[in-house]
């Protein structure tokens, strides 16, 4: 690389990617957080789901490892008939 060259725009050697060496795991937990009211007449249940998506890659050339964890949270409100 020449002195003063911008490393973000310099051409780099492409990395061989072997998708067989990627592993993935998903962990999740859902819990009911009780009743809420959508309006004066409509009760609903609030359910929160939390997930962790983890991807792992091992480079077969030098055994270096990369791990990416992506958190996700979802809140769902489900209406139910009033009793």
Segment 12-60, tens digit of pLDDT: 676 665 556 788 999 999 999 999 999 888 899 999 999 999 999 888 7
0.75 exceeded by the pTM? Answer: no
pLDDT at 80: 81
Q: Select from 50, 55, 74, 52 the least CA-distant residue to 65.
A: 55
Tokens of 48: 């929160």
pLDDT at 49: 97
Tokens of 37: 């009211």
Asked if residues 46 and 57 have their Cβ atoms less than 8 Å apart, the reply is: no
The residue with tokens 């050697």 is 13
């Amino acid at each position: 690389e020449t002195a003063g060259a911008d490393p973000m725009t310099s051409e780099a050697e492409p990395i061989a990617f072997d998708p067989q060496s990627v592993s993935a795991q998903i962990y999740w937990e859902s819990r009911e957080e009780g009743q809420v009211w959508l309006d004066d007449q409509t009760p609903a249940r609030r359910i929160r789901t939390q997930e962790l998506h983890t991807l792992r890659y091992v480079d077969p050339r030098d055994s270096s490892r990369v791990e990416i964890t992506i958190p996700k949270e979802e809140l769902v409100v489900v209406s139910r008939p009033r009793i």
